[in-house]
Structure 1
Amino acid sequence: MSHSQGHILVVEDEPSIADNIVFALQLDGFSSQHHLLAADALNALRQQPADLAIIDVGLPDFSGFDLCRQIRQFSDIPIIFLTARGDEVDRILGLELGADDYVTKPFSPRELSTRVKAILRRVGSNGNPAGRGALWHDPRRAGIYYHQQKLDLTRIEYLLLSLMIRHPEQVFSREQLMRAAWDHPEHSLERAVDTHIKALRAKLKAVIPEQSPIKTHRGLGYSLEQPE
């Protein structure tokens, strides 16, 4: 099948739901790969990159949240969580882990496919910089570009900035940023976030000195405004 729309990794342990998702994606021109277990999906993603992952939270071997954490060690592809629970805490946790969307069962597979298309349009998963803003993220190549220049980022800087690019103008607390970028946030200090944000600002200013897209919200945290 053509990959013109993108390749989607589907991780869902209920075959009937998975079949409906795969069929809806196929109707919209996507290719897909389905796995019942998180471990199998993780291995597959290491071998074949995908443009987006749809992950059920309640998987048999380990949770979708744990799978997301492991994926984020080496990939920043967009992720949509599926869950039978509509708990607000779950939703917030999913977004803090770096998810792009959150869908509660039961849902319409066609609506899910529409959300996939919207996310891929937003992140520009085909790697084509045309039509992007001044600051854009290429998750398949794990690169962030600012006014056409690829930024030389540490792993933590990359994870922090990619999260903020996915959710422009959203204010992230230091704790949320730590959970997104640190393997063991409980062993880190919140001031470490400030240090990395300062380093990110310096790298952005080295490209365009008069712009400062990362904004400080005193007592709250940081947000990103997409520069012109």
Structure 2
Amino acid sequence: MAANIALVDDDRNILTSVSIAMQAEGFITRVYSDSEAALHAILENPPDLAIFDIKMPKMDGLELLRKVREKSNLPVIFLTSKDEELDEALGLAMGADDYIKKPFSQRLLIARVKSILRRTEFIKSLEEGQDDESAEPIVRGSLEMDPARHLVRWKDANVTLTVTEFMILETLAHRPGVVKSRNQLMDAAYQDDVYVDDRTIDSHIKRLRRKFREVDAEFDAIDTLYGAGYRYTE
């Protein structure tokens, strides 16, 4: 079945061009130029993935994401302008899966959409009981990860992670003490040569730390080695 994509942007030219490109790839698109109308429609009939512009009247993309996150873990990609670096960081911290700067190529956007949909579809299949026998649970000190069920626990407390966050943490936890460069983490979380910059990985790491510190204020198992990357320490 074709994936359903919700596009939210007050620029009708972008809505039209992105919608046409998505439909050419076989996706079903729903377009909204009004973020408040989009919120109601998304919560009433959730799509498979949504693409939000950040700067919009009435309700901007950040507020729209916040309200969606109260009800759903819907995958979200942000569209941002070159001068919106702070907004990008805030968006990732709030749970966006990725962001793309305007102007952007349709090919890049489609590649990222496909990459995120593949990961979320894999997780859905596992949640429906189609276990991957090769995905053995990972236990590293106080950390427990079950890749087959996308479950994470820290000191017996559940930690809810996005697909991207899970894959980054899984890569680090597989070999405790081994430094993983940003490029290695990008390869683990973003397949098919989808380009992301260093700041995207850094933002995901910040979100991981924040989520673990919500259940354990003393969490310090992810180290930063400046100029080298990150490592997990038991």
TM-score category (smaller protein)? 0.5 to 0.7
Instruction: Verify the 8 A CA contact 1:164 1:224 in the aligned structure 2.
Output: no
Match of 1:193 in 2: 215
1:216 aligned to which of 174, 196, 221: 221
Give the 3 Å change call, closer, same or farther, for CA 167–218 of structure 1 in structure 2. closer
SS in 1 for 2:90: helix
Match of 1:212 in 2: none
- Write the distance in 2 (CA, Å) between the matches of 1:121 and 1:173: 19
**With structure 1 as the length reference, what TM-score do the two structures score?**
0.64
Matched, 1:165 2:160: no
SS in 1 for 2:29: strand
Identity %: 33
SS in 2 for 1:33: strand
String of CA shifts for 1:57-96, please: whole Å, max 9, x gaps: 0111111011111111111111110122344322222211
How far does residue 27 in structure 1 lie from its aligned partner after superposition? 0.6
Give the 3 Å change call, closer, same or farther, for CA 196–77 of structure 1 in structure 2. farther
Give the 3 Å change call, closer, same or farther, for CA 121–35 of structure 1 in structure 2. same
- Write the distance in 1 (CA, Å) between the matches of 2:162 and 2:123: 20
2:7 aligned to which of 6, 10, 14: 10
Instruction: Verify the 8 A CA contact 2:146 2:152 in the aligned structure 1.
Output: no
- Write the distance in 1 (CA, Å) between the matches of 2:108 and 2:150: 34
Instruction: Verify the 8 A CA contact 1:12 1:18 in the aligned structure 2.
Output: yes
Give the 3 Å change call, closer, same or farther, for CA 134–49 of structure 1 in structure 2. farther
Give the 3 Å change call, closer, same or farther, for CA 19–46 of structure 1 in structure 2. same
1:114 aligned to which of 111, 121, 145: 111
**With structure 2 as the length reference, what TM-score do the two structures score?**
0.63
Uncovered stretches (5+) of structure 2, i.e. residues with no partner: 138-144, 173-200
Instruction: Verify the 8 A CA contact 2:54 2:62 in the aligned structure 1.
Output: yes
Match of 1:104 in 2: 101
Uncovered stretches (5+) of structure 1, i.e. residues with no partner: 137-144, 182-189, 198-214
Instruction: Verify the 8 A CA contact 2:5 2:47 in the aligned structure 1.
Output: yes
- Write the distance in 2 (CA, Å) between the matches of 1:82 and 1:219: 28
User: Over aligned residues, Cα RMSD in angstroms?
Assistant: 3.8
**How many aligned positions are there?**
184
Instruction: Verify the 8 A CA contact 1:178 1:193 in the aligned structure 2.
Output: no
Runs of 4+ in 1 over 4 A off after TM superposition: 130-133, 147-153, 160-163, 169-175
Match of 2:190 in 1: none
Match of 1:65 in 2: 62
How far does residue 192 in structure 1 lie from its aligned partner after superposition? 4.1
